Structure 1
Amino acid sequence: MSKFNSARVRALVSSPVVSESVPSGLTHEGGAGYVREPKSELFLLAVTNMVGEQTFYEASDKRDDRYAELVRAVTIADPEWTARFLAWLRGAANMRSASLVGAAHFVKARLDAGEQGMSRQVVDSVLQRADEPGEFLAYWSSYHGRTLPKPVKRGVADAVRRLYDERALAKWDSEARGFRFGDVLNLVHPSAVTDKQGDLFRHALDRRHGSIDGVPASLDVLRARAELLAWPVEQRRALFQQDRDTVTSTLRNAGMTWESVAGWLQGPMTADVWEALVPSMGYMALLRQLRNFDEAGVSDEVAAEVAARLADPAQVARSRQLPMRFLSAFRAAPSLRWAWALEQAITHSLANVPALAGRTLILVDTSSSMQASFSKDGSLMRWDAAAVFGIALGSRCADAEVVSFSSAQYYAGDPPGAKTMVFPVRGGESLLRSVDRWKDGGYFLGGGTDTAGALRRHFTGHDRVVILTDEQASDGDVHRALPAHVPLYTWNLAGYRHGHAPSGGRDRHTFGGLTDQAFRMIPLLESGRNAAWPF
């Protein structure tokens, strides 16, 4: 009888998020807790961290302090890895605040250790929007003081040269900001790339100090904007009686965003106003204004134009919107004329969700801690993300059982055990409709997190198990609730310190984040190849 050469044999593979093999701690709910090595803990925290936001188990200040400590520790241990990670975090992962905060602590850690180099490049790499140099300096001054070391000045200056133009000044420079464009220029002293940018820098400084004596002749957009702002209210409203192309061109040439038009018009944002603005609006702005378009009565012709842009796979990719943003837009829009475009958009945003052969058990954690919001308006919860990913994966697998789970022990006197509901995946049903059916059907359960109990109840020889969760299991050891040879893929949606199972190899792997990027790792691992960091 063969000891090693059996039909079940597979290559030993590894994944990047690594933890201890034996639990040394406890989850927040008292289950077996596996400590991760620092890079792994930092990665899972960063890709789910909105900075300054409360989570179910961690106060915002405690969570932010843990993040800062991890960035500093990993920077000292491996600055090259941390530099690549922070650039990826702001880029492909589109985590704006976490990357800016991370860059600030990267620089401080390097300076405190007496190390030279890399800091300037890291600061420059995370500043990708024209308001972010000021945002970065605001964070630095509030956390590290107003003295700016050379790497900060040079990194911010590099970004300013890339990002500051007329339209950026019109959009982002306002009295509502503590660090205006002029403040940033005063602090970091960037050299202008062109003569025109030099005029812009001088004009921004004049604006900041209230000494404007006209707009330089080279700044066409700002001159056109100044002319529009000088129009009387009656002339502003009369503009929208002209043909749409003329209105659109007039507003675009003056760098007028929908926000600035809303204040400038001093009247209602009617259908003709929105229709003139649509060609100049960015992808995110369109996605967030669907309700306003409907309420204003935007024509079906213009709505079709908006829908085409929302559904365009290239624009979806460039926008780097989280998949849950499309769900939020779908829920907010009064009419159904956006539904198909949003369905296409969320499908494009989940392009990396694999089609898996064999039988797959997908457990979606809908305990009370997963009800925590990760959006400022409270419209999106972590369990929304778990449901979106779980249903999307289930719909693509050859044979999937999708299960919502929590714990039957809601109150102290309740009997222990898992509470579960099997969600029937319907072939051909749209993802957005499926998520609505999940919500309307009571699949968001609440209560505790009996992950091990749900595994024992629903595992029946599946080829793999995927769990979408914050990992804060309340009972037992999740790792030992499943046969050791069955691959367990944990998708972490919260970034707490302790995991519910080991990770990094031996058929136990943890991924994380609020995008579809890490789904690419499952096919790699199952084909016998190691999965590396995505940067």
Structure 2
Amino acid sequence: MRFNFFSRNNAQTVNHAGAEAYVLTPQLELYAAVATASLNDQYYEKADTRLLRLRELIAKNNPQFVAQLAVYAREQLHLRSVPLVLAVELARIHNGDSLVARLMGRVVQRADEITEILAYYAQANARSGRKTLGRLSKQVQRGLAEAFNRFDGYQLAKYDRDGAVRLRDALFLVHPTAKDAAQQALFDQLVRGELPTPYTWETELSAQGQVAYATPQERETAFRQKWEELIGSGKLGYMALLRNLRNILEAKVSAEAMTLVCATLASQPAVARSKQLPFRFLAAYREVKTVQSGHVAAVLTALEDAIAHSAANLRGFGADTRVVVACDVSGSMQQPISAHSKVLLYDVGLVLGMLLQSRCQQVITGMFGDRWKQVALPRGPVLRNVDEFYRREGEVGYSTNGYLVIRDLRQRREVVDKVMIFTDAQLWNSTGDGGTIAREWAEYRRTVASQARLYLFDLAGHGATPLEVRPENGVALIAGWSDKVFDVLNAVENGGSALSEIEKIEL
């Protein structure tokens, strides 16, 4: 078993709530911080503080591991901003080989990510604007030049947006060599601002909005027809479809168009290609529920099918494996994952918890705050179960007495194999009785179930855990908001770890 990367002498510390906690190794702390990074202010940590901590952790880790983690975050966890941050920060401290250039080529998957990297490069190096960016490091320049060569005219036009750095600015900074005459012509058009306007749902609706209409009814008809045209064209991407379900329903498109919408949402190949994070389906589900339309029931069913497809390869546990799924509903979990999102950390935990519950044969589900409460729910309807949990979260209060989950098992002497806790890992005891999850877990393993394992699903990445993450303690750490956390779970079950999954990445 490959557990040699866990520290054998974890220093005890305190968490943000002042409760006892344990320090992670630099590798584990960086992994948890990256997998949960929204780069927005959080309940316990400001965005600037998280960036500073990321910078310090990058310096403490092996450059190869940092690069592998950046690619893992981009390609497996489907995160966009934090892999770019890792690439730029690594470029600031590492040179002498082609690692940074290769990394840039892997994490840049959209044309606008070139400009995002350059904007962050300016910020990280205390510069502002294209003219003050100065010369790029050779490896950054080489990696971004190779990225430029991958994009066609449609992609360049689609992502040529206003900002501190434009694609035209990036072209002058990076100096990519066109791979052929056709691409050189595209570069020349980009410089002159003459790239053709791409056909996207945004440009189509924007153009529709510029038309003068004689009556509101005429405008309503025009937009309904435009949505029907976009839906029928097949050029409305999956994410755009998810985000516009309310608009589509409120436009009162035809039954034929709605049938196509539902078929697309519920298509397993379309779901797989879309690479949506599971909580995106929850956000769409909640938006649709508020709309008054005869098509709402069909759309909700399609969204249930979609999230089921998104976890089609999720390996649960068989009939003989006894599992506990415990979701933290404390006050700090009521934090939006970003400034522009209605989705809370609490929601992410519930979605992941219900996905796991849907794949287990013998499972206890529940939530904890001031108290621990088991909640029996049917297997299958993931999004409906999440909303049922959400409706009942006030029943247990808003503290973080996670130790009660284990105490309940110990006092009832109930033998289970796996305990899954979805939390921000800032557990503390509001009762004053001295109980901690670390002590309860040790006693439970000693007196009730010596082979039980606890999986701490860290949804915030604050850098410390309420238990020591060590195999002899039966404790493993898994971080992130993606269904890919269950790939890590499977790896741990087979003798690996989160870090071993990252170290498989080839650069």
Identity %: 32
Counterpart check, 1:511 vs 2:478: yes
Q: Residue 432 of structure 2 corresponds to which residue in structure 1?
A: none
8 A contact 1:130–1:168 mirrored in 2: yes
Q: Give the distance between the partners of 2:8 and 2:400, measured in 1 at CA.
A: 22
1:533 matched residue in structure 2: 501
Separation (CA, whole Å) in 1 of partners of 2:5 and 2:361: 27
Assess if the C-alpha contact under 8 Å between 2:372 and 2:402 holds in 1: no
Whole-Å Cα distance in 2 between the matches of residues 256 and 522 of structure 1?
41
Distance in 1 (alpha carbons) for counterparts of 2:495 and 2:137: 47
1:319 paired residue among 274, 289, 310: 274
Q: Is residue 132 from structure 1 mapped to residue 113 from structure 2 by the alignment? A: yes
Is residue 304 from structure 1 mapped to residue 259 from structure 2 by the alignment? Answer: yes
- Give the deviation of 1:336 after TM superposition: 2.4
Q: Which residue matches 1:380?
A: 343
Q: Which AA in structure 2 matches 1:467?
A: I
Contact 1:33 1:499 in 2 (8 A): yes
Alignment length (residue pairs): 459
1:471-522 CA distance string (max 9 Å, x none) = 1111343222123332111111000111111114121111111112132344
* 1:430 paired to 2:430: no
| Aligned ranges 1:77-476 → 2 under 5 Å | 78-111=62-95, 115-144=96-125, 145=127, 146-147=133-134, 148-163=136-151, 165-174=152-161, 176-207=162-193, 222=196, 225=197, 255-265=198-208, 266-267=210-211, 268=219, 270-278=223-231, 279-333=234-288, 334=291, 335-356=296-317, 357-407=320-370, 419-427=371-379, 429-442=380-393, 445-459=396-410, 460-475=414-429, 476=435
- Does the 8 Å CA contact 1:21/1:34 hold for their aligned counterparts? no
Q: Distance in 2 between matches of 1:16 and 1:274?
A: 56
Residue by residue over 1:378-403, the C-alpha shift from the partner in whole angstroms, topping out at 9 and shown as x without a partner, is: 31001111111212222322221111
- Amino acid of the residue matched to residue 471 of structure 1? A
From 30, 36, 47, the counterpart of 1:60: 47
CA shift at 1:140, angstroms? 0.3
Q: Is the 8 A contact 1:14 1:525 kept in 2?
A: no
Q: Distance in 1 between matches of 2:10 and 2:97?
A: 39
User: How has the CA–CA distance of structure 1 residues 205 and 523 changed in structure 2, closer, same or farther, with 3 Å as cutoff?
Assistant: closer
Match of 1:478 in 2: 437
Distance 1:487 1:17, change over 3 A: farther
The alpha-carbon distance between structure 1 residues 274 and 440, as it changes in their structure 2 partners (threshold 3 A), is same
Normalising by structure 1, we get a TM-score of: 0.81
* Cα offset, 1:18, TM superposition: 3.3
Looking at structure 2, the residues matched to 421 and 443 of structure 1 have their Cα atoms a distance apart, in angstroms, of: 11
Give the conservation status (yes or no) of the 8 Å contact 1:394–1:425. no
Cα gap change, 1:301/1:21 in structure 2, threshold over 3 Å: closer, same or farther? farther
- Structure 1 unaligned regions, length at least 5: 1-12, 208-214, 226-254, 408-418
State the 1:528 CA deviation. Answer: 5.7
What's the secondary structure of 1:86's corresponding residue?
A: helix
Identify if the C-alpha distance between structure 1 residues 374 and 529 changes in structure 2 by more than 3 Å, giving closer, same or farther.
closer
Larger Rg: 1
Q: Distance in 2 between matches of 1:47 and 1:528?
A: 21
Distance verdict in 2 for CA 1:63–1:444, change over 3 Å? farther
Q: Give SS of 2:501's match.
A: coil
Aligned-CA RMSD value? 2.1
1:369-421 CA distances to partner (integer Å, 9 max, x unpaired)? 111111333310011111112122223222211110012xxxxxxxxxxx122
TM-score (norm 2): 0.86
**CA deviation after TM superposition for structure 1 residue 440, in Å:** 2.1
| Secondary structure, counterpart of 2:149 in structure 1 | helix
One-letter code of the match for 1:295? E
**Contact (CA 8 Å) 2:372, 2:404: kept in 1 or not?**
no
Task: Rate the CA distance shift 1:380–1:38 in 2: closer, same or farther, 3 A.
Answer: same
Aligned to 1:498: 464
Cα deviation, residue 190, structure 1: 0.4
Deviation at residue 151 of structure 1 after TM alignment: 1.1
The aligned counterpart of 1:7 is none
After TM superposition, give the deviation of residue 98 of structure 1 in Å.
0.3
**Aligned residue identity for 1:54:** D
- Stretches of structure 2 that go unaligned for 5 or more consecutive residues are 128-132, 212-218, 430-434
Superposed CA offset, 1:307-348 (max 9, x none): 222222222222111000001011112222211221111112
Query: Contact conserved, 2:2 with 2:495, CA < 8 A, in 1?
Result: no
